Each structure stands twice: as C-alpha cells, then as structure tokens.
Amino acid sequence: MRKIKIIADSCSDLSKELLEKYDIDYAKMTTVYNGVESPADLYWSQEDAHKFYDIMRNGERITTAQVSMEEFQNIFSKYLNEGYDIIYIACSSKQSSSVNTGNVVANKLLEENADAKITCIDSLNASLGIALLAVEASKMVNAGQDYDTVVNNVISLRKKINQFVTVHSLTFLKRAGRVKGAAAFFGNLMGVKPILISDANGEQAAYKKVKGRQNSFNEIVSMLKSVIKDPENQTVYIAHADCSQEEIDTLVSLVKAQINCKDVFVGCIGPIIGASIGPDAVGVWGIGEEVTFINGETK
C-alpha cells in the first residue's frame, strides 16, 4: 500500500508547529510588494508578521498570486517519487483558482504515474479552516484509514468547519475582491465591527455587525459556542493578524470560559490571507453544525 501525503497551501495559515506535528506540507502561493515577488512562507516569525502588517497599516498594498503550475509540479512530483499518494486540500475555489491549477497538474502527472493517486479537494474554507481539515486528514491517515476513506471524510467534513472572524473594517477585503461590494457599508460605520463567516459555497460573507471591538470578540465566541459539536474532544483554533498580546489573551480566556474544549490553538494569519483581510483581524474555528447560509440570503 502506498503512503498518503496531506498537502495544503499558503492560504491554510498552518504554523510550523502544526506542519511538523502532523507531517503536512503546503504549496506556496506568492506575495507581491513594490514589484517584488516573494514565496508566501508560513514559517514566518512574529517579527516578520509585524513588519508585513505594518506595511498595510501604512496604507500600502500587498497583492497575491495563486499557486503556480511549476510549484504544483515540484511538490506533487516530490511526493510521488517518494512513493506517496497525495491529498491536496486547497483554499476555497471562491477565493483562489489554485484547486483548478492543481487538478490540471495532477492529471498530467497521473498520466505518467498510473499506479498513483492525487486528489485535489476544494476545502470551501480559508485560513485555519483549511488547517483544521488538513490536521483532521492527517489524524485519519495516522489512524490507518485508507486513501478513499480519508478523501470522502474530508469532503464530508468541510461544510462542518465553522468560522467566525471579526475585522476593524471591510476595506482590505473589499479592495482584494473577497467580499461583495454591497456588504462594504458594514465597515464604514463608526465603531461597527463586521463578523465574517465562510458560507456554504466557500465564499467570505459579511454575516452580521457588532458595535465595538470587545463586543465583536464576545460575539464570535458566542457564535462558535452555539454551533460547535463535541467540544470536549476537539481543539478550538484562533488566528490573528498581528493583534496585541492583550487581545489574544482576552480571546483565549473567552473561549476557555465559554466553550468546554479540549484545547485552544493560537496561530497567526499568514501572508496570503493577511494581504486580503488586513491587520488586526481575528477569528475562531471549530467543527460543528453544517454551514447552510449562502451569501446574499436573508438570515
């Protein structure tokens, strides 16, 4: 039986700790700043993240590019040559075309490797929503589940990943084309903090609005609490875009006080998601009820 390799991409915001603990690799996307292209490396330090987000705080724009065909060729070939079958858990196709590019490269490589398998899964998620799926897939592999079972379980799980993110405004997301323009008014009212979810189709949706930063923290934790399933046996994931330690500690305390979860993981929103969402965004993720809301519907 061939081994199984779980691969994500730069949108997953997987930390060094998670990548190494669960033996996950990722395909690198690209950031562009002042005309210079750089790999979107998830092995970045707190200092690197702070410098990155300060560029955005100063009004400058960082753009991004999806995973290239060459990057897919390199990473897929590496693991095929080492005797692995591959499961690539991609950023939502509503936010990146990388899953489509991955499929093109995978199909070409499989013509030359008839006994191998490569499956490219649209995660319908972003940031730690992808990371959570990749971690769960790795656990399935380590538990001895076969390739097809892992693929089917990840596909079944992807709509049960619940994301609740708050930002200071939708300015960065609107500029990057990541939310509908009609929703942008959420971020233009004094003190109003939008709450974003990843909807049933994998699109970032401005779901509701809350007055004040602290209230937005309370709200995202409350929303996760209302949908999370079997919390005592799972980790709640928190990601932030260079927030203060005080804010991070506050959110962790809220999660621990309100949700009887097994553990809390805190990570940094990486360069690809960060370039779109902007500094000081923060969110929580967990496995719970199936997401049914579709952007544009009336709640």
Domains of the chain: 3-33+65-159 (3.40.50.10440), 160-287 (3.30.1180.10)
For 236, phi then psi, to 5°, come to -90, 130
Query: Does residue 91 contact residue 133 with C-beta atoms inside 8 Å?
Result: no
> Which pLDDT belongs to residue 189?
59
pLDDT (mean) for 168-180: 70
Going 33 to 34 to 39 to 41, the CA torsion angle's sign is negative
pLDDT tier for residue 168 given thresholds of 50, 70 and 90: confident
Mean pLDDT of all residues belonging to the chain: 93
Residue with tokens 């999660």: 255
Position 178 confidence tier, pLDDT thresholds 50, 70, 90:
low
Confidence band, pLDDT 50/70/90 cuts, at residue 192: confident
Helix (H) or strand (E) holding 198: strand 192-198
In this prediction the pTM is 0.94
Closest CA to 275 of 6, 86, 10: 10
Burial profile 250-277: b = 16 or more Cβ within 10 angstroms, e = fewer: bbbebbeeebebeebbbbbbbbbbbbbb
**Percentage, residues of the chain above pLDDT 70:** 94
Across the chain, how many H-helices and E-strands are there? Answer: 10, 13
Q: What is the pLDDT of residues 99-133, one digit of tens each?
A: 999 999 999 999 999 999 999 999 999 999 999 99
Stretch 243-260: mean pLDDT: 97
Predicted local confidence at residue 256, as pLDDT: 98
Least confident range of 125-139, 260-274, 284-298? 284-298
CA angle 146, 148, 153 (to 5 degrees): 95
- Mean pLDDT, rounded, for 33-53: 95
pLDDT of amino acid 124: 98
Give the integer Cα–Cα distance in Å for 85 and 21. Answer: 20
Say whether 124 sits in a helix, a strand or coil.
coil
pLDDT at 62: 95
The reported pLDDT for the residue numbered 296 is 72
Segment 228-248 shows an average pLDDT of: 97
Q: Which of helix, strand or coil describes residue 196?
A: strand
Q: Is the dihedral of CA 5, 8, 9, 12 positive or negative?
A: negative
Q: What is the pLDDT of residue 185?
A: 47
Residue 212 CB neighbours (<10 A) = 12
CA-to-CA distance for 128 and 19, rounded, in angstroms?
12
| CA 235 to chain centroid | 15
Amino acid 283 reads G
The closest alpha carbon to 23, from 139, 119, 106, belongs to 139
Question: What is the pLDDT, as a whole number, of residue 182?
Answer: 44
Q: Summarize the confidence of residues 129-149 as an average pLDDT.
A: 98
Those residues whose C-beta lies under 8 Å from the C-beta of residue 5, and which sit 6 or more positions away, are 25, 79, 84, 85, 86, 87
Place of tokens 């700043």: 33
pLDDT at 33 > cutoff 60:
yes
What pLDDT score does 180 carry? Answer: 54
pLDDT at 53 over 60: yes
> Running DSSP on this structure, what letter comes out for residue 262?
S
State the alpha helices, DSSP H only, in 30-177. Answer: 46-57, 69-81, 98-112, 128-142, 147-157, 171-175
Q: Would you give the DSSP letter of residue 231?
A: G
